[in-house]
Amino acid sequence: APVVAVVGRPNVGKSTLVNRIIGRRQAVVEDVPGVTRDRVPYDAQWNGRRFTVVDTGGWEPDAKDRAAAIAAQAEIAVQTADVVIFVVDVTVGATDVDEAAVKMLRRSSKPVILVANKADNQNLEIEATSLWSLALGEPHPISALHGRGSGDLLDAILEAMPPAPPIIEGGPRGPRRVALVGRPNVGKSSLLNRLAKEERAVVDSVAGTTVDPVDSLVEMDGEVWQFVDTAGLRKRVNQASGTEYYASLRTAGAVEAAEVAVVLLDSSETISEQDQRVLTSVVEAGRALVIAFNKWDLVDEDRRYYLDKEIDRDLKRIPWAIRVNISAKTGRAVDKLAPALRRALAAWEQRVATGALNQWLTALTQATPHPVRGGRAPRVLFATQAGVAPPRFVLFTTGPLDAGYLRFVERKLREEFGYEGTPIEVSVRPRK
Ligand code: GDP
């Protein structure tokens, strides 16, 4: 979600404004001497658009150098935000203290919205025009306390944001799209046949959706699933013409078209490089992932011993993948497939509330800070979830993070919020 930062001197009404923007769904701490409410992010929504509001306020109100404090605040805002809201108290007007911040904001390429707060009546609204002198564009007179003008302000904030990605959520959606992939002879067509037979009906159509003729609709566990690009499997042509090149093209296409992939492995054989490539293509495409160990009927105690070793060694980079042990031949545990797919898809689309995310992150980075590098340790300022399917997170930091530390944060994030069965992406935006 885009980040909107609120900047301004103490007492201009920043926390009241933040409360107004987030609709008081969460309580914003008031200015309390000695209490830092540095960079606290909140979830907000207007006209169906989600964004994150970062309250950059909260320095010592009796700080000796207020100009320096506000400049530092503006600097953080400029480096981390997509939109900056600069708040001035219209009953006081622009003061010298505002100047350092205004200069920096004007130099930055970030869109700045100038708010003239405490415009509780028409006279004060007119007074706001004097703020054109700050050269930050049109002043927006509002009363954060009474709500006057806040709708117009929210419209302006939305307009200043980067364009919204197309909205997919909501409304009726078709069946979940599944890619059934794996190297030749792992049992893909056997599994598809088994599923079609077991569940009586291979459905031909679902109301309100059009299904590509190369796809198969299969009912599993009371739900219709769309297995994409299975024409080759149904006709069993890929066996004869199964050169690795064409197999990998087919895999890439199916994975691209799907939301979740079932990667079939042959449990009776060593995990191969080709298996690894199939797994990699799913992770790199950012799709949810279920690994089905097929031909489990052939696994004896001996094989089990070596398979466990192979899993430890070869699947180490994807410990989060959901695994099921099945047999397309006997039908063993094939009913575990649908619940596994649902679990992976739920994680793939899971959104963590900004408040919960940052509470957890603050505790984590306090308990285990970044190691010191060249006399300094980069700090994580805050985080937002930038998207889902797959989940993407952005960490705003004071400097680049070690790859090891980033992996640590990612692992803990998975544990804390239950991200199982989906790749997640954690990127770092260091301030320069
Ligand atoms: P595909 O190339 O991935 O579609 O693999 P197929 O479905 O054509 O299966 C390849 C071979 O493995 C066939 O001889 C199947 O009968 C056999 N096979 C598939 N699944 C199983 C299983 O669960 N157990 C055993 N023992 N054999 C299987």
Predicted complex ipTM: 0.95
**Domain span including residue 26:** 3-160
Kindly state whether residue 140 falls inside one of the protein's structural domains: yes
Question: According to the model, what pLDDT value does residue 75 have?
Answer: 76
CATH code, domain with 416 = 3.30.300.20
Same domain? 274 vs 339: yes
Report yes or no: 141 and 121 within 8 Å, Cβ to Cβ: no
Tell me, in angstroms, the distance from the centre of ligand 1 to residue 431's CA. Answer: 54
Report residues whose beta carbon is within 6 angstroms of any ligand 1 atom: 182, 184-190, 233, 239, 294-295, 297-298, 327-329
Number of domains in the chain: 3
If one compares 2 and 432, the residue with the highest pLDDT of the two is 2
What single-letter amino acid sits at 205? S
pLDDT of 401 strictly over 90? yes
Residues facing 292 on adjacent strands: 264, 324
- Evaluate if residue 431 carries a pLDDT over 60: yes
Residue 182 alpha carbon, nearest atom of ligand 1: 3
State whether 219 and 363 are in the same domain.
no
375-399 burial code (b ≥16 CB/10 A, e <16): eebbebbbbbbeebbbbbbbbbbbe
Arithmetic mean of pLDDT, 158-164: 86
- From 123, 73, 77, 80, select the one nearest 98 (Cα to Cα): 73
Q: Is residue 167 part of a domain?
A: no
Does any domain span residue 364?
yes
Instruction: State residue 125 phi and psi, 5-degree precision.
Output: -60, -40
Instruction: Please check whether residues 335 and 366 belong to one and the same domain.
Output: no
User: Hey, what are 56's tokens?
Assistant: 């950059």
Domain endpoint, select from 102, 135, 160? 160
Residues 342 and 357: their CA atoms lie apart, in Å, by 23
Examine the domain organization and report whether 327 and 377 are in the same domain: no
Q: Which residue has the higher pLDDT, 214 or 429?
A: 429
Q: Report pLDDT for 168.
A: 55
Q: What's the pLDDT tens digit per position in 184-227?
A: 999 999 999 898 876 544 445 455 455 666 788 888 998 989 99
pLDDT score at 313: 96
> According to the model, what pLDDT value does residue 237 have?
45
Whether residues 359 and 309 fall in one domain: no
Q: What integer is the mean pLDDT of 176-189?
A: 94
Q: Which of 322, 348, 374 is the last residue of a domain?
A: 348
Least confident piece of the model among 110-124, 240-254, 344-358: 240-254
Task: Give the model's confidence band at 12: pLDDT under 50 very low, under 70 low, under 90 confident, else very high.
Answer: confident
Domain check: are 375 and 414 in the same one?
yes
Task: Tell me the C-alpha distance between 295 and 119, whole Å.
Answer: 73
What does the H/E/C string look like for the chain? CCEEEEEECCCCCHHHHHHHHHCCCCCCCCCCCCCCCCCEEEEEEECCEEEEEEECCCCCCCCCCHHHHHHHHHHHHHHHCCEEEEEEECCCCCCHHHHHHHHHHHHCCCCEEEEEECCCCHHHHHHHHHHHHHCCCCEEECCCCCCCCHHHHHHHHHHHCCCCCCCCCCCCCCCEEEEEECCCCCCHHHHHHHHHHHCCCCCCCCCCCCCCCCCEEEEECCEEEEECCCHHHHHCCCCCCCCHHHHHHHHHHHHHHCCEEEEEEECCCCCCHHHHHHHHHHHHHCCEEEEEEECHHHCCHHHHHHHHHHHHHHCCCCCCCEEEECCCCCCCCHHHHHHHHHHHHHHHCCCCCHHHHHHHHHHHHHHCCCCCECCECCCEEEEEEEECCCCEEEEEECCCCCHHHHHHHHHHHHHHHCCCCCCCEEEEEECC
Mean pLDDT computed over 246-260: 83
* Cβ-contact 257, 175 below 8 angstroms: no
The last residue of a domain, from among 97, 129, 160: 160
The CATH number assigned to the domain holding 273 equals 3.40.50.300
Minimal CA–CA distance to 348: which of 286, 277, 273, 293?
286
Residue 376 amino acid letter = R
Give the per-residue pLDDT at 368: 95
> Does one domain contain both 190 and 276?
yes
Tell whether 166 is covered by a domain. Answer: no
Q: Provide the pLDDT for residue 102.
A: 86
Ligand 1, from 181, 185, 265, 324: best to mutate by most atoms within 8 Å of Cβ?
Answer: 185
pLDDT the model gives residue 210: 55
Mean pLDDT for 40-56 is: 82
Range of weakest confidence among 35-49, 255-269, 281-295, 328-342: 35-49
pLDDT-derived band at 83 (thresholds 50, 70, 90) equals: very high
Assess whether pLDDT exceeds 90 at residue 96.
no
Q: What is the pLDDT of residues 360-399, one digit of tens each?
A: 999 999 999 999 988 889 999 889 998 999 999 999 998 9
Q: Does 186 belong to an annotated binding site?
A: yes
Say whether 356 counts as a known binding-site residue.
Answer: no
Q: How confident is the model at residue 169 (pLDDT cuts 50, 70, 90)?
A: low
Residue 58 is labelled as binding a ligand: yes
More confident residue, 244 or 147: 147
Residue 432 predicted with pLDDT over 70: no
Q: What is the pLDDT of residues 273-298, one digit of tens each?
A: 999 999 999 999 999 999 999 999 99
Q: Is there a single domain that holds both residue 373 and residue 406?
A: yes
Minimal-distance CA residue to ligand 1 atom 7: 187
Residue-wise pLDDT tens digits, 305-317? 999 999 999 999 9
Are residues 343 and 390 both part of a single domain? no
> Residue 244 has what pLDDT?
64
Would you say 188 and 239 are in contact if contact means Cβ atoms under 8 Å apart? no
pLDDT at 33: 45
Higher-confidence position of 218 and 71: 218
Q: How far is the CA of 299 from the centre of ligand 1 (A)?
A: 14
Listed residue (39, 98, 113) closest to 431, CA to CA: 39
Look at residue 259 and tell me if it is in a domain.
yes
Taking residues 131-138, what's their average pLDDT? 89
Looking at residue 311, what is its pLDDT? 96
264 neighbors 233 (Cβ within 8 angstroms): no
Pairwise CA distance, residues 158 & 432, whole Å: 26
Q: Establish if 60 belongs to a structural domain.
A: yes
Residues 388 and 326 in one domain: no
Structure tokens at 196: 């079609």
Q: Is the pLDDT of residue 62 over 50?
A: no
Looking at residue 65, what is its pLDDT? 66
Which ligand 1 atom sits nearest the alpha carbon of residue 184? 2
- pLDDT(1) > 90: no
For 90-94, 197-201, 237-241, 367-371, which range has the lowest pLDDT when averaged over its residues?
237-241
Please tell me the distance from the alpha carbon of residue 41 to that of residue 393, in angstroms, as a whole number: 14
Across 84-109, average pLDDT:
86
pTM: 0.69
Are 76 and 398 within 8 A, CB to CB?
no
Q: Within a 10 A sphere around the Cβ of 423, how many other Cβ atoms?
A: 21
Radius of gyration, alpha carbons of the chain? 27
Instruction: Tell me: do 132 and 223 sit in the same domain.
Output: no
Whether residues 236 and 336 share a domain: the answer is yes
- Report percent pLDDT > 90 for the chain: 50
Q: What confidence score (pLDDT) does residue 79 get?
A: 76
High-pLDDT (> 70) share of the chain, %:
83
In a domain, residue 109? The reply is yes
Which residue CA neighbors atom 19 of ligand 1 most closely?
A: 187
Task: Please tell me the distance from the alpha carbon of residue 50 to that of residue 192, in angstroms, as a whole number.
Answer: 40
Q: Of residues 386 and 101, which shows the higher confidence score?
A: 386
Q: Is 56 annotated as a binding residue?
A: yes
Tokens of 399: 């400097």
